[in-house]
Chains A and B, each alone.
Chain A
């Protein structure tokens, strides 16, 4: 075994000054088990008396198989600087495990995997060890932090940063950005707001994602709602109702495809976006939300009216709504940037209902300002002890990822850097010129408000109840406000 280490021990990096005792502990336990397995399997040590010879052979075969499988995970130690990266976006090693050709990779998982492979290939003195976690990965991250063993780099939703940063669990990343030569003013406004808390920057913004109107242009043409090859979108709430009625009359199909079941993000996105547009201060301070206002009632009553007039689909969850849209069962599906790739694929497949009939735009302005609620992904650095080499490697990783932000934008997400928004390559991607505006009009929730993911769930539940008529609008707004305020007031 000299010169080799079992895989679980491969994170026992020499540069680490974090919690080596823990790793040594795990190592000895695991090594002990491995030795026992191997010794018993190959008869190298004392074994317990077994009367039945066949049983002994069977037991040894089984243990031998286990030991061989365990040993198959052996890998050589190295002198590289290891940084430990934890991400979601799934595992696609079978397809992209060896790929360093980012341009040929597809989808969030494929592009992410190829990017990290490419970084490792271009930086032979550094090794990024990747841990893929089940989405969104926060239970594991929190557990790792509680065990004082967090990773070096983590993908994090910008709305979650405040939860960890407020407790000192994330490092402010200005030193890494400075070392990497990345200026914060190169971020888009939405991205900059998304990673900034209390004047400090807590992550390298990676993208902006938000709601979009995904449109079936064939049905829009049938409804005579196309002008100059582009769909006609409303400029006011009343115009939306009028167009929806026209659409329904001419196509016999609902104007909106809605996922109001088991998808609180859908209703929360609508409510946040249009309350922001109306200039309503959603969070007057870090402990309170304000939903039960004239603006809140106006937005909720509008979406209630859409359902009362049957201008949108009813009783659909996310999979049903997606299936309905790709099957041509409605005009507009308001969902996120992340679906562009899937819908574009449908639009390029002959014979499919969406074939050459797909367009996508940010939410239209129905009232007030042209702003939209958005979120985003970021690379954050959990607080822990690190060597200078590891810090330098993290900076290098930031520089690499910032330089490849365009590649990530191919997933459908809006780039986090102004320069990429202006990049001709980005504008040449399908629909990107139409949705790039999101980088400018996008507004995250205020960074001083914690528990934004949980709040979105609470608001979305009650707003969906209001939109679908399960609760009176006033009661739903009051309930959501009360529940969120209770949550915020419980925080330490």
Chain B
């Protein structure tokens, strides 16, 4: 969109919209910089000084915080990497290979989109208990790899790639694997980036599964750890600390957004899919 084409009314609407979006974030940031006791009586005190970094110091002073940060990073990166591999392979299979019950299998995969994770949480928990995988990184990562959306997404994307490319490669003597690895996969980088961003964000913010699978504090992810660090009635007597936790937990996500801004905007706009 060219800047010159925006009318004053458009600009005003844009600015108002932006302010509405930014206001809660700014409010959270300001609250996080205030003394908890001051906020008990009047949260409006966030609008003026004095400000303090003591809530952030308390978070960093907790010896477990960096551990939880590491756990979140390992789980989010592991889930992302695993899902990219599996979704790409499955997507290629569904998009390019002919095998019995291909369509049926694809429909079954798509049906997975309609099943909420809460519906399978009990058998999933029992299964992981039986496999002795609770309180382990595989236990936190593996459920995230069940990703029908990723398979659907990659299948759709790969179907959009001309088959002539495969045929040309075959004429040159390339194997199926070579075609996938050397020809198709490089062309799916935009889709991979989009899927990676969504998977990373989802995994980083996940709370429910880590809450019941990682029951030992040294295996907590950041979301579970920060929640555990809250005292009861944190929303009243520890409001500043609560908001500092929210800001702290979002910093890595913010960094991911900055680094992958182009892909995220592209994904949101739907331009990553042909």
Which residues on A are within 8 Å of B, measured CB to CB?
7-8, 10-11, 19, 21-22, 24-26, 29-30, 33, 66, 69-70, 72-73, 88-95, 97, 107-109, 130-135, 139-140, 142-144, 146-149, 318-319, 322-323, 326-327, 338-339, 342, 345-346, 352-353
Contact = CB atoms under 8 A, between A and B. Distances in A.
Main DSSP-derived SS at the A contact region: helix
14 contacts: A7-B218, A26-B132, A66-B70, A66-B74, A69-B66, A69-B67, A73-B67, A89-B231, A90-B232, A109-B231, A131-B216, A131-B217, A140-B215, A326-B40
Contacts of B236: 318-319, 322-323, 342
A323 B42 contact: yes
Interface stretch (B26-34, B57-65, B84-92, B258-266): B57-65
A132 B131 CA distance: 25
B6 interface: no
B219 interface: yes
Contact of A33 (B60, B137, B227, B232): B137
B62 A66 contact: no
B69 to A, nearest CB: 8
Given A8-B136, A29-B136, A89-B231, A140 B212 contact: yes
B218 A338 contact: no
Interface size class on chain B is 35 or more
A319 B242 CA distance: 13
Given A91-B62, A93-B61, A94-B62, A140 B129 contact: no
Nearest to A318: B236
A93 B43 contact: no
A144 B132 CA distance: 12
Contacts of B229: 90-91, 132
Contacts of B63: 93, 97
A143 B214 CA distance: 10
A26 B134 CA distance: 8
Contacts of A345: 37
Contacts of B67: 7, 69, 73
B64 A93 contact: yes
A327 B229 CA distance: 28
A139 B211 contact: yes
A134 B41 contact: no
B110 interface: no
A345 B38 CA distance: 12
A101 B37 CA distance: 24
B133 A134 contact: no
Contact of B218 (A8, A146, A149, A352): A8
B229 to A, nearest CB: 4
A19 B135 CA distance: 14
Nearest to A136: B232
Contacts of A352: 41
A131 B229 CA distance: 11
A139 B214 CA distance: 11
Contacts of B41: 323, 326-327, 346, 352-353
Contacts of B96: none
B230 A318 contact: no
B160 interface: no
A90 B74 contact: no
Contact of A73 (B42, B135, B218): B218
B170 interface: no
A421 to B, nearest CB: 24
B134 A149 contact: yes
Most chain A CB within 10 A, of B73, B128, B138, B236, is at: B236
Contacts of A7: 67, 218
Contact of A70 (B70, B129, B227, B228): B70
Given A90-B230, A91-B62, 11 more contacts: A8-B216, A22-B132, A26-B136, A30-B137, A89-B232, A93-B62, A93-B64, A97-B63, A140-B212, A318-B233, A318-B236
A323 B43 contact: yes
A147 B135 CA distance: 11
Most chain B CB within 10 A, of A69, A97, A353, is at: A69
Contact of A29 (B42, B60, B129, B133): B133
A480 B60 CA distance: 45
A431 to B, nearest CB: 18
A8 B58 contact: no
